Amino acid sequence: MVVIVLERVPASVRGELTRWMLEPHSGIFVGTLSAMVRDRLWDKICQGARDGGCVMIYNAANEQGFAIKTSGDTRRLVEDFEGLFLIRVP
């Protein structure tokens, strides 16, 4: 499962994601993707985000069971604390 949260990105980026994922709430996308599709979509999102921010959470073989990637200016910061992902609100 993959969850992507978009903040202040152009409508074209959101439109691209609706081809592959569901948008249950504005700016939040959920879907099941292969690793290759997930990584290629992430590259497209990062290139098209301009001044916006993006967060992606996906399944991973680690202690928490998921990994987090961020790009751009997001409202929350992801900290890696000894292998655990923690969220910091500035």
Q: What is the CATH number of the domain that holds 71?
A: 3.30.70.240
Give the span between the Cα atoms of 19 and 45, in whole angstroms: 13
3-state SS assignment for residue 7: strand
Which pTM value belongs to this model? 0.91
- Residue-wise pLDDT for 18-67, tens only, equals 999 999 999 999 999 999 999 999 999 999 998 899 999 999 999 999 99
Q: What is the mean pLDDT of the chain?
A: 93
Q: Residue 38 sits in which domain range? A: 2-88
Cβ atoms < 10 Å from Cβ of 61: 7
Structurally, the chain folds into a number of domains equal to 1
Give the span between the Cα atoms of 49 and 58, in whole angstroms: 19
As a residue count, the chain comes to 90
